[in-house]
Chain A
Amino acid sequence: MHTAAIGIRGYVSDHSGPNRRLDFESVCMAELPVLYRVAKRLTLNGDDAEDLVGSALLKAARGWAQFDGAHPRSWLIRILRNEHLSVLRKSNLKSEATLEDISEPSDDGFWEEIAWRAVGDDIFRALDALPVEYRMAVTLCDVEEMSYEEASAAMDVPVGTVRSRLFRGRRLLRARLVHSADLEAQIEEAGR
């Protein structure tokens, strides 16, 4: 599984030296693609994701002095997630349905073969259709290749919760991919 992209502990252990500002920039620069992808999974929109990353990094810059240096990716994603929730609250937008609000989605279809033309956009469309808790677990552990422990720190939930959301999320995602591949085949067939 993934470990931090750079030798983070070494980079950030000295918060008081003249390189502190440089350390913060180095860490953030390395994590920008990850932060944007995670933000896009949260907001489901490229423009909003960009704004979210910008405001999360402003918060991170202000909190850098208090950061202990452990799991910087998880720390940044946790700020991103909190910022997203804060934006939703401020704008009185209803948060997405959570696991408590919805009935258990079906994973019928997991066992079917997929005609694997599903790539990139198809996969992320199917991922974005999952409830946010499953989506985040799959995004962090499978797309971003974070360990269960890093994902736990980022999502602010116990490791066991990450595991159960991840395992269930994978089955649901695969079932959705099967259904969308079936639909595509039917449309193609109808067009002949």
Chain B
Amino acid sequence: MSRTRHSEDGPPCKHMEALLNQAADGSSRGLKLWYATAHAARCSRCGRFLARLRETIGKLRSAKADEVPAAVLERLKNGPWRNSESEEPP
């Protein structure tokens, strides 16, 4: 496939944005995923967009591990909710 010729600075093809987002977060499979990645491989803007999305999502997923201090988790585990229950809906 030949690469689409246009500036790399700019938004992705309008009809591709949702498909590229779903390809980046892993929520698409099969034909949808193939179409998005095949398009991104030949379209410079969409290729760049997909790479940026994957990078951002990867950073978000890996950053969460540090976020809950052990002392907080311990207090939450032993909170008053463990001794409370009734039939009243929330």
Contact = CB atoms under 8 A, between A and B. Distances in A.
A, B from the same assembly: yes
Interface in B52-79: 52-53, 55-57, 59-61, 63-64, 66-69, 72-73, 75-77, 79
Main secondary structure of the interface of B (DSSP, over half): helix
Interface of A is mostly: helix
Contacts of A1: 25-27
Interface residues of B, number: 40
Given A1-B27, A29-B77, A37-B64, A174 B84 contact: no
A62 B72 contact: no
A66 to B, nearest CB: 5
A10 interface: no
A142 B57 contact: yes
Contact of A124 (B17, B63, B76, B84): B63
A6 interface: no
Interface residues of A, number: 53
A120 interface: yes
A102 to B, nearest CB: 21
A64 B85 contact: yes
A25 to B, nearest CB: 6
Contacts of B61: 142-143, 145
Interface string A157-192: 000000100110010011001000000000000000
A35 B90 CA distance: 16
B18 interface: yes
B52 A123 contact: no
B21 interface: yes
Given A32-B77, A170-B56, A177-B56, A62 B67 contact: no
Contacts of A127: 60
B19 to A, nearest CB: 11
B30 interface: no
Contacts of B5: none
Interface in A1-41: 1, 21, 24-25, 28-29, 32-33, 35-37, 40
A105 interface: no
Contact of A53 (B18, B21, B76): B76
Contact of A62 (B21, B25, B53, B89): B89
Contact of A60 (B59, B87, B90): B90
Interface of A: 1, 21, 24-25, 28-29, 32-33, 35-37, 40, 46, 50, 53-54, 57-66, 79, 82, 110-111, 114, 116, 118-120, 123-124, 127, 138, 141-145, 147-148, 163, 166-167, 170, 173-174, 177
